[in-house]
Amino acid sequence: MIEEHSQETPTVIAIGSGKGGVGKSAIAAAMGAGFAMLNRKTVVMDADFGGSNLHQIMGIPRPAYTYRDFQNGRVDNLNQIVVEHHQYDNLGLIFGAAGSYGMANEKYMHRQRFLNHIRDIRAEFVILDLGAGSSFQVLDIFTAADLGIVILNPEPLSLSEGFNFVKQVVIRTFSKTLRQFPEIQTFIQEHAKTETFRSNVRVEDLILQIQQKDAEVAGRLKTCLDELQIGLVLNKVTNDEQSVEVSAFQRALQEILSINTELLGLIHLDPVVPEGLKAGVPFMAMDPKAGAARDLANLIITKVLHRNRFHAFWDRSSINKKIHEIGKPSGTRMICSVNCMYWEECGYRQGGYPCRLQHMSEIGFQGED
């Protein structure tokens, strides 16, 4: 899903949603913890400037620095306000200015300064937890990311709001591309003002109309659509058959907005999520054996990191070991058992014997590409 990046610049993942309450912030925090458990230097940033809550999710009630320090010029760059988590290695946090007046309506110049500094953050991954809805601030940050993830719930309202969010992402992308063509930009923006349920005009039809005026501009807009990297995550799933709703959602996006999206995964409804929120612990770290944690681990490894089956298995084991094997002496052997959380997925099941995957990894076996 994500192209390889230079080690000098981070891969930026923006997590958004059409409405609040879908679990966006909990997933952003847990995803950051998951990357960190895989020894990937990660910074999670609360980019919901008007309703920040990452400090509560991470169990840090009074962060030493917040985004306000950067916005006011008290520090020169975002690295200076990264707070290293006291419990998880490789995990840095940038907190929003919770309860600070005016933060949700940041000036364009401040927003551009922020976007210019994201790529300077010293990390392999930067995860941005955006505010709900489709303000220009949210849309500009979402479209600037290498991967935008839209969180959905399997309910009609969430899917409807999710569609509206992606529509605004497309329109905002077009609008920025067309700044040098004000007449066509106005044409696109007028279409964007029409409520979804009142409009049956497809983006493909709009581009065809623009092509009659300027073929080069129409070509640019098609390129914009091709370059948009949008992934979908269906959260709070109670039945795997609910994924059918996402398939219909994707077809609507393709047919009406001419945008292709990828379903990154399902995250099942799990009591570990509210328990983690109450305790101030990301659910990935709260209980890596829980269903929701395993769902997210699979998403990170197979969809974001592009690992093959062997690597995917081994990285899931690494997440579990980070929590349950801290302090064990090096060289400790893992014994194969039906109690292993990866028993059903493993092709090397030999109960009672040393784990073959651990052995192969230690002697340098990399698996097949």
pLDDT at 366 over 60: no
- Tell me: the pLDDT tens digits for 23-44? 999 999 999 999 999 889 999 9
CA 334/CA 205 separation, integer angstroms: 59
Burial of 220 (0-12, 13-18, 19+ CB in 10 A): middle
Between 163 and 325, name the one with better pLDDT.
163
Pair of tokens at residue 275? 């328990």
Pick from 102-116, 154-168, 195-209, 237-251: least confident:
102-116
Determine the CATH number of domain 11-161+228-310.
3.40.50.300
User: Which own/partner contact pairs does 354-363 have at CB distance under 8 Å and 24+ positions apart?
Assistant: 357/310, 357/313, 357/314, 357/317, 358/317, 358/333, 358/334, 361/314
Asked if pLDDT for residue 359 goes beyond 90, the answer is: no
**At 327, is the pLDDT very low, low, confident or very high (cuts 50, 70, 90)?**
very low
Angle at the Cα of 309 from the Cα atoms of 305 and 313, rounded to 5 degrees: 80
- CATH 3.40.50.300 domain extents, the chain: 11-161+228-310
Instruction: Find the helix or strand (DSSP H, E) in which 210 lies.
Output: helix 203-213
Helix, strand, coil shares of the chain, percent, nearest 5, are 50, 15, 40
pLDDT tier, 173 (very low <50, low <70, confident <90, very high otherwise): very high
The answer to whether the CB of 43 falls within 8 A of the CB of 121 is yes
- DSSP 8-state class, residue 179: T
Q: What is the mean pLDDT of the chain?
A: 82
pTM reported for the whole predicted model = 0.80
The Cα 194–Cα 197 span in angstroms is 8
Q: Taking the alpha carbons of 136, 305, 35, 126 in that order, is the dihedral positive or negative?
A: negative
| Spatial strand order in the sheet of 83-84 | 83-84, 91-94, 42-47, 125-130, 11-16, 147-152, 230-237, 262-268
The per-residue pLDDT for 100 is 54
Across the range 1-20, mean pLDDT stands at: 77
Is 111's pLDDT higher than 70?
yes
**Tokens describing residue 35:** 């990357």
Reading the block at residue 210, the tokens are: 């623009």
| Mean pLDDT value across residues 277-287 | 93
